[in-house]
Amino acid sequence: MTNREWSPTFTARVAEQMRRARKAAGLTVTESAEACAALGLAVPKTTITNLETGRRSSIDLAEFLVLAEVYKVPPVNLLFPLGLEASVEVLPDREVSTWDAVAWFTGETRLERPAPEDSARGVLDTFRAHSDAVATALASTRLAKERRRKASTTLDSGRREALLEAAGAYEQLAFDDCRELREFRLTMQQRGLAPPALPNELSFVDEPDPED
């Protein structure tokens, strides 16, 4: 398929996924247009209709992103219908499995060895690892607080002692996870990367350590 043929075909596939997403969201074309306007970008009803019926062979990126938000669908799912089609022509004359297309788009293509630290893929992997570290620290912190809460509310002295012991173990785990996250963020900053803001529950992680 030539580039001239591939582009409108690709748009048609995306438009079909958008039509499905709109119907799954239970929205009419009018409601979709109104929701887009509420998000700050006017997307006329005629634009949505023309896309869905194939009368429009291209889509504006801003319109695409706003419609994805209106339909509550990850944009990548509209580009590559994972689970609905086994393969897609991701580029002219390049047909791959739909999962491979998604992995290519999101940077999740499997590598034989770690990507160079300052490469685009290396930075992407760093932020994924940071996200995992945040999730781990958040989970252990919440578990520690829950164990401490249970210990403070039980009337059984024996159970309270056991719960306090468990709480102490969870608090040590949370402490270690949060310290590891803090060191990870400091390393990112030293590399010139701006770490994402932390959840309120972990805001203390970025506070200076009195021992430093």
3: pLDDT strictly greater than 70: no
User: What is the model's pLDDT at position 1?
Assistant: 57
The mean of the pLDDT values for the chain is 90
User: What is the model's pLDDT at position 2?
Assistant: 62
User: What is the model's pLDDT at position 210?
Assistant: 61
Give 58 or 152, the one with higher predicted confidence: 58
User: What is the model's pLDDT at position 167?
Assistant: 82
User: What is the model's pLDDT at position 203?
Assistant: 94
Q: Tell me the two tokens of residue 47.
A: 């634009």
Contact criterion met (CB below 8 Å) for 152 and 168: no
160: pLDDT strictly greater than 90: no
CB burial of residue 13 (10 Å; 0-12, 13-18, 19+): middle
- Mean pLDDT, rounded, for 10-22: 93
pLDDT digits (tens, 9 = 90+) for 80-91: 998 888 999 999
Spatial CB neighbours of 160, under 8 Å, sequence gap ≥ 6: 151, 154
211: pLDDT strictly greater than 70: no
Is the pTM of the predicted complex or chain greater than 0.95?
A: no
CATH level 2 (architecture), domain 3-106: Orthogonal Bundle (1.10)
User: What is the model's pLDDT at position 96?
Assistant: 92
- Mean pLDDT, rounded, for 46-51: 94
Q: In whole angstroms, what is the distance from residue 8 CA to residue 102 CA?
A: 20
**Burial readout 124-134 (b: 16 or more C-beta within 10 A, e: otherwise):** ebbeeebeebb
